[in-house]
Structure 1
Amino acid sequence: MSEPLALPGPTAADRRLRELVARTAVGDHDAYRTLYRALAGQVLGMVRRVLRDPAQSEEVAQEVMLEVWRSAARYRPDRGGVLAWVMTMAHHRAVDRVRRSQAESSREEKAAAHLQERAFDEVAEQIENRLERERVRRCLGRLTELQRQSLVLAYYRGLTYPEVADLLEAPLSTVKTRMRDGLVRLRDCLGAGS
């Protein structure tokens, strides 16, 4: 049987980075400064490949390096090298930024479309209402004075038939007849599209 391949141990550079992370974990600012100088350029390069926006890339790279400072105590050497750990954080953070930007952009597009659609609908509705009111006024103008008065009192002022009859000093049956005839003429006028 063949023997399993032995994985190479950490290089001198890996050991140095692990030492810097361990010292950073206990709050050693000098160790962190050295670690920052060793990794920041590579982090920025990784992030820039994902984001492609220099300003956002710098911001995300700074967030990653701050996360290295905050989470140095959670680094596990048995899970891999420092560079792999930091680059994994950088990649995740960059991908999160892309997703957040896409979601934000999508929300803004939906909101803009909704506002535009609503504004168009409101304007169209206002125009339609104005045209309809003008048509009704025009058709009301074609009715007799008694028909017009009866309909205006009943439909625009909300009076009942008996109240209209009292106000116009006319018999209730006459008011009902005026209103029925007026509504028929109004319907014919509005239906004709005048």
Structure 2
Amino acid sequence: MAKMELMNAKGTHDFGPEEKILRDKIEHIITAVFRLHGFPPLETPVLERFDLLASKYAGGAEILKETFKLYDQGKRELGLRYDLTVPFCRFIGMNPSLKMPFKRYQVGSVYRDGPVASDRLRTFTQCDADVVGTKSMSADAECLMIAEAVFKRLKIKAQLEINNRKFLDGLLDDLEVPKEKWIDAILIIDKIKKVDQKKIE
């Protein structure tokens, strides 16, 4: 029998005891801030129905090309979550009796079958804190306060950059970008700082 070469699946990474202890300590600091501001934890499955994962972008986004797709024994289409937002939206939709505004935080692994680089793996940890069910700007202000408090607790000097989807939609409208192209345009804008300028052009 041939000897198997032991290695990680491409785009994955092990965390040894020292690194894992440090990661757990950082997560504890962050989640303590969330709880202090009244955000309870939420946990959702890493597996979701594929049609749900596709619905966020109407099946046409680049991220769907990076979604790990699989079938269960009943031949149902499933996918590994690529973010924590879609499962959160599903949870809200399935629980109409939740008192609004509803807050939650979640820390968990997400998966994307995209190009692998030193700073981009196929499985990584996301950390979300969200408020839904209110149009009040105070919810946005609270999230900014929480972000500032987290960086302060971690002793990291950070500059917070604020974006607003309404501003972006208005800009695309002024530039007369067809509405059916808005999602593509937003994805390109999102990548401006991440990829080579020539690729964007």
Query: TM-score scaled by structure 1?
Result: 0.26
Report which of the two has the higher share of helix: 1
